A = this chain, B = another copy of it.
Amino acid sequence: MMKTKDYELLLERKGLKKTKVRIALIQHFMNMEHAQSYNDLQAALVSELDKSTLYRNLTSFEQAGIIHRINDHTGISKYAFGEPQIHGNEHAHFVCECCETVYCMEGLVPLQLNIPKGFKTNNVQTVIKGICAKC
Protein backbone atom coordinates (compact mmCIF):
# COMPACT_ATOMS: atom_id res chain seq x y z
CA MET A 1 0.00 0.00 0.00
CA MET A 2 1.89 3.00 1.30
CA LYS A 3 5.61 3.24 0.74
CA THR A 4 8.08 3.97 3.52
CA LYS A 5 8.18 7.63 4.41
CA ASP A 6 4.75 8.21 3.02
CA TYR A 7 3.66 9.31 6.45
CA GLU A 8 6.19 12.11 6.24
CA LEU A 9 4.72 13.23 2.97
CA LEU A 10 1.30 13.03 4.59
CA LEU A 11 2.32 15.32 7.43
CA GLU A 12 4.02 17.73 5.04
CA ARG A 13 1.03 17.86 2.75
CA LYS A 14 -1.21 18.72 5.69
CA GLY A 15 1.19 21.37 6.95
CA LEU A 16 1.90 19.52 10.17
CA LYS A 17 5.36 19.41 11.71
CA LYS A 18 7.08 16.04 11.60
CA THR A 19 7.60 15.43 15.30
CA LYS A 20 8.54 12.14 16.95
CA VAL A 21 5.15 11.76 18.54
CA ARG A 22 3.32 12.32 15.29
CA ILE A 23 5.48 9.94 13.31
CA ALA A 24 5.05 7.20 15.90
CA LEU A 25 1.32 7.84 16.01
CA ILE A 26 0.79 7.87 12.29
CA GLN A 27 2.87 4.72 11.80
CA HIS A 28 0.83 2.99 14.45
CA PHE A 29 -2.43 3.96 12.78
CA MET A 30 -1.12 2.65 9.46
CA ASN A 31 -0.31 -0.70 11.02
CA MET A 32 -3.60 -1.17 12.83
CA GLU A 33 -6.60 -2.36 10.90
CA HIS A 34 -9.01 -1.57 13.73
CA ALA A 35 -10.08 1.62 15.43
CA GLN A 36 -7.93 2.68 18.37
CA SER A 37 -9.05 4.13 21.69
CA TYR A 38 -6.94 6.45 23.83
CA ASN A 39 -5.98 3.47 25.97
CA ASP A 40 -5.04 1.36 22.97
CA LEU A 41 -2.75 4.11 21.77
CA GLN A 42 -1.23 4.80 25.17
CA ALA A 43 -0.49 1.07 25.60
CA ALA A 44 0.95 0.71 22.10
CA LEU A 45 3.21 3.76 22.06
CA VAL A 46 5.55 2.48 24.72
CA SER A 47 7.43 5.69 25.34
CA GLU A 48 4.96 7.09 27.92
CA LEU A 49 3.21 9.65 25.85
CA ASP A 50 1.57 12.60 27.52
CA LYS A 51 -2.20 12.56 27.68
CA SER A 52 -2.82 16.07 26.42
CA THR A 53 -0.24 15.74 23.67
CA LEU A 54 -1.95 12.60 22.46
CA TYR A 55 -5.40 14.12 22.52
CA ARG A 56 -4.19 17.26 20.81
CA ASN A 57 -2.58 15.26 18.05
CA LEU A 58 -5.69 13.17 17.60
CA THR A 59 -7.62 16.38 17.14
CA SER A 60 -5.07 17.76 14.66
CA PHE A 61 -5.06 14.52 12.69
CA GLU A 62 -8.81 14.45 12.59
CA GLN A 63 -9.01 18.03 11.38
CA ALA A 64 -6.39 17.27 8.74
CA GLY A 65 -8.39 14.26 7.60
CA ILE A 66 -5.61 11.78 8.42
CA ILE A 67 -7.80 9.88 10.86
CA HIS A 68 -11.48 9.91 11.72
CA ARG A 69 -13.14 9.75 15.07
CA ILE A 70 -15.67 7.01 15.73
CA ASN A 71 -18.32 6.96 18.38
CA ASP A 72 -19.25 3.35 19.05
CA HIS A 73 -21.91 4.19 21.65
CA THR A 74 -19.75 3.20 24.60
CA GLY A 75 -19.03 6.85 25.29
CA ILE A 76 -15.38 6.33 24.45
CA SER A 77 -14.09 7.78 21.19
CA LYS A 78 -12.05 5.59 18.90
CA TYR A 79 -9.91 6.65 15.99
CA ALA A 80 -9.05 5.01 12.69
CA PHE A 81 -6.84 5.81 9.74
CA GLY A 82 -8.43 7.56 6.80
CA GLU A 83 -11.15 10.07 6.21
CA PRO A 84 -14.74 9.22 7.11
CA GLN A 85 -16.01 10.26 3.69
CA ILE A 86 -15.84 7.51 1.11
CA HIS A 87 -17.46 8.28 -2.23
CA GLY A 88 -19.22 11.23 -0.70
CA ASN A 89 -20.96 9.14 1.97
CA GLU A 90 -19.91 8.19 5.47
CA HIS A 91 -19.06 4.56 5.97
CA ALA A 92 -20.63 2.50 8.70
CA HIS A 93 -18.82 1.07 11.72
CA PHE A 94 -19.18 -2.41 13.09
CA VAL A 95 -18.74 -2.81 16.85
CA CYS A 96 -18.19 -6.31 18.18
CA GLU A 97 -20.23 -6.80 21.32
CA CYS A 98 -17.80 -9.45 22.47
CA CYS A 99 -14.28 -8.05 21.99
CA GLU A 100 -15.35 -4.40 21.51
CA THR A 101 -13.28 -4.12 18.37
CA VAL A 102 -14.47 -1.45 15.95
CA TYR A 103 -14.24 -2.15 12.22
CA CYS A 104 -14.72 0.32 9.41
CA MET A 105 -17.21 -1.16 6.94
CA GLU A 106 -16.63 -0.36 3.31
CA GLY A 107 -19.63 -0.02 1.08
CA LEU A 108 -22.27 2.63 1.05
CA VAL A 109 -25.15 2.87 3.43
CA PRO A 110 -28.21 3.14 1.26
CA LEU A 111 -30.70 4.92 3.40
CA GLN A 112 -34.20 6.06 2.64
CA LEU A 113 -35.70 7.77 5.64
CA ASN A 114 -38.85 9.77 5.80
CA ILE A 115 -37.37 12.93 7.26
CA PRO A 116 -40.14 15.36 8.22
CA LYS A 117 -40.57 18.63 6.33
CA GLY A 118 -38.21 21.34 7.44
CA PHE A 119 -35.45 19.00 8.56
CA LYS A 120 -32.22 19.26 6.61
CA THR A 121 -29.90 16.26 6.64
CA ASN A 122 -26.18 16.92 6.63
CA ASN A 123 -24.76 13.50 7.34
CA VAL A 124 -25.71 10.05 8.49
CA GLN A 125 -23.70 7.92 10.87
CA THR A 126 -24.42 4.25 11.33
CA VAL A 127 -23.16 1.89 14.01
CA ILE A 128 -23.77 -1.83 13.57
CA LYS A 129 -23.54 -3.98 16.69
CA GLY A 130 -22.95 -7.69 16.52
CA ILE A 131 -20.33 -10.38 16.75
CA CYS A 132 -17.20 -10.18 14.64
CA ALA A 133 -15.54 -12.96 12.66
CA LYS A 134 -12.89 -13.54 15.34
CA CYS A 135 -15.37 -14.05 18.17
Contact = CB atoms under 8 A, between A and B. Distances in A.
The number of times this chain is found in the oligomer is 2
A130 B123 CA distance: 7
Interface in A89-135: 92, 94, 97, 103, 105-107, 109-133
A118 B133 contact: yes
Given A71-B71, A71-B75, A73-B71, A115 B94 contact: yes
A129 B122 CA distance: 6
Give the interface size class of chain A: 35 or more
A77 interface: yes
A130 B120 contact: yes
Given A75-B75, A126-B126, A118 B132 contact: yes
B97 A119 contact: no
Contacts of A128: 113, 115, 121, 123-125
B121 A130 contact: yes
Contacts of A127: 124-127
Contact of A126 (B111, B114, B133): B111
25 contacts: A71-B71, A71-B75, A75-B75, A94-B115, A94-B119, A103-B119, A105-B115, A105-B116, A109-B111, A109-B113, A111-B111, A111-B126, A113-B128, A115-B128, A117-B133, A119-B132, A121-B128, A121-B129, A121-B130, A123-B129, A123-B130, A124-B127, A124-B129, A125-B128, A126-B127
